[in-house]
Structure 1
């Protein structure tokens, strides 16, 4: 198949990692894959890309100007080469570009999260419903995401394909190697405490302050991996506490997970299946999560805890949880492995060509 992805993003997040993994996996299976646009990590994996001169990804800040650009951006789809399937995953591309592309080949979307609320959500939903008339399939990362879309898209177009990870990359190392990683990657003051870790884009909607509070309540150290607009606030909240360490963006996340004892997950209400939870569980870490966040249905399979409030995480609770280290490894390998995920996407694209 010739699979053409149209996606513009300059932010390295979960959706972008999904795009790169899908493009690389499909290419390795012999398909011709090209990206029109930009995606962090794409060219670093040796994948083909062409520029289409689309504006920035839609957000509350860029929405007004973005809507004015729609006629021009639709015209620019003429520069996109013919394809077996066109693949879109962000709202701007889905709403603005699906109709012209669908006249040339089937269009497939992926939906990564729950539908947003408020005036912006209602505005997008109207355009999304019109664009969905032209889409062939919508891949949803969870049943909850599919339930949000069913009244708008129709169940016959929805396919649920849970997120996946390369479990080999996150496999827990032998004890001796783990000890080396702890010595090399963690501050020396952390060596006599349980170490919690979170690795995510630091955005206020995810309320990562709960992770800071839970770690301190349990007398654990916390490694905060990642960057984003909420980092400054979180650093102020930590108030220079020596047991909270901010690393910024890192390329060695699997090693940092391996050096830690448990993971703290905080999700925004629009999140779908959190890949950070899958990555941590694949490395054997128990997961601490918070009641009401998306993705908490995964936690019982990972030997973790779902809390109502951060202060519920006590030192005794952490000690008991660490006895269940490794519980989630088999579950992630069986349900969220990369091969099964690629099989599902290949099958979905193939069904659109019949």
Structure 2
């Protein structure tokens, strides 16, 4: 299957969605296909789709997310999708807008995030967007099993689990002891690392609750959090007020070095699909303690200690088990490296979607 014209659409993205779309751009272009990415200008600025070989077409949708909110955007989107062989939307909002634009090409969608909790306006709107999407889409992928099951229950024609490989991330070769000293980690003091956007989904208040428990240990582990986001001020205030052994490092370009220097990787998220940071931690051979949510269990298998989300005592105890049991820590490092060997690699995602596009275009996939 040569020379497909593929249109990838997305809405505003803070990380995972944009990284995945960029990975697909590189893989599809590298396999001889033409790709246009349609989304907010801010996504091109952050993720550099054109640098991956795609053409970028900006599409701004104003106001509150709604499939009916911006008629001008729908008209422009319809024109941008004209001539594509396949349209592949990423996220419920982008998928619903693509469905309403009614491209002549088959429509695929990948869902990257869990629905809002509760029964408020956001949850109702999300449900409406889902219904618009599944009514039109030929194929709906989810980044976790729970999303796939949700789409099946809503009547999606065909569903599957998307591959979301983490990009290769090489360490600079910096001496881990040097980095630990820079962070203020004395010899013999454990270093716990979290890589997360400072936002509600990442469960960082629970991480701080757990850090309060770790503070009673001798010596207390230092928790280093790499990432930025809207909760920075609130988290910093709480860390200072409680004298917690936590450092907010901001956005870092040396995550591989941080992982090489760490003793344990910790993830406290409320929900995740196939988190790139856990894939990176496994490749670094780190013991992992993570919340048992979304696609995390399928991703890690027996290579991590899983704890319930929202339970700081369980999170603290999971880390303590590793710190107190050198044999367990060693076994988890071996398991992490074994699990890393089974992870998808860049290019696997493009191969997967191309196989699925071929099924849709061949007519074996009822529309």
Instruction: Provide the C-alpha distance between the structure 1 equivalents of 2:281 and 2:307, rounded to a whole number of angstroms.
Output: 15
Give the equivalent residue in structure 1 for 2:11. 8
- The reply to whether residue 230 of structure 1 matches residue 236 of structure 2 is no
Instruction: Provide the C-alpha distance between the structure 2 equivalents of 1:71 and 1:162, rounded to a whole number of angstroms.
Output: 33
Moved more, 185-194 or 339-348: 185-194
Contact 1:52 1:79 in 2 (8 A): no
- The reply to whether residue 49 of structure 1 matches residue 55 of structure 2 is yes
Give the equivalent residue in structure 2 for 1:262. 264
1:322 maps to which of 324, 329, 332: 329
Give the equivalent residue in structure 1 for 2:296. 295
Give the equivalent residue in structure 1 for 2:190. 194
Instruction: Provide the C-alpha distance between the structure 2 equivalents of 1:228 and 1:211, rounded to a whole number of angstroms.
Output: 16
What are the equivalent positions in structure 2 for 1:86-125 lying under 5 Å apart?
86-102=87-103, 104-117=104-117, 118-119=119-120, 120-125=122-127
- After superposition, the C-alpha distances for 1:13-47 in whole angstroms (9 at most, x for unaligned) are 11111111111122122221121224221247343
Contact 1:209 1:237 in 2 (8 A): no
Distance 1:330 1:20, change over 3 A: same
Offset, 1:129: 1.3
* Unmatched runs of 5 consecutive residues or more in structure 1: 57-61
Distance 1:262 1:75, change over 3 A: same
Instruction: Provide the C-alpha distance between the structure 1 equivalents of 2:222 and 2:302, rounded to a whole number of angstroms.
Output: 24
Instruction: Provide the C-alpha distance between the structure 1 equivalents of 2:116 and 2:181, rounded to a whole number of angstroms.
Output: 37
Offset, 1:141: 1.3
Contact 1:190 1:243 in 2 (8 A): no
Instruction: Provide the C-alpha distance between the structure 1 equivalents of 2:50 and 2:132, rounded to a whole number of angstroms.
Output: 36
Distance 1:25 1:255, change over 3 A: farther
Moved more, 109-118 or 317-326: 317-326
Moved more, 294-303 or 342-351: 294-303
- After superposition, the C-alpha distances for 1:281-334 in whole angstroms (9 at most, x for unaligned) are 121111112355762454453243536524424645324243232422232331
The aligned length equals 338
Give the equivalent residue in structure 2 for 1:277. 278
Instruction: Provide the C-alpha distance between the structure 2 equivalents of 1:291 and 1:142, rounded to a whole number of angstroms.
Output: 12
Instruction: Provide the C-alpha distance between the structure 1 equivalents of 2:298 and 2:159, rounded to a whole number of angstroms.
Output: 21
Contact 2:264 2:287 in 1 (8 A): yes
2:246 maps to which of 240, 244, 247: 244
TM-score between both structures, scaled by the size of structure 2: 0.82
Distance 1:304 1:291, change over 3 A: closer
- SS of 1:153's equivalent? coil
TM-score between both structures, scaled by the size of structure 1: 0.84
- SS of 1:190's equivalent? coil
Distance 1:225 1:108, change over 3 A: same
Contact 1:296 1:306 in 2 (8 A): no
Moved more, 40-49 or 123-132: 40-49
Contact 1:207 1:267 in 2 (8 A): yes
- SS of 1:146's equivalent? helix
Give the equivalent residue in structure 2 for 1:183. 178
Offset, 1:242: 7.4
Offset, 1:52: 3.7
- The reply to whether residue 207 of structure 1 matches residue 203 of structure 2 is yes
Offset, 1:265: 0.5
Moved more, 71-80 or 290-299: 290-299
Contact 2:143 2:295 in 1 (8 A): no
Give the equivalent residue in structure 2 for 1:59. none
Contact 1:197 1:222 in 2 (8 A): yes
Give the equivalent residue in structure 2 for 1:20. 22
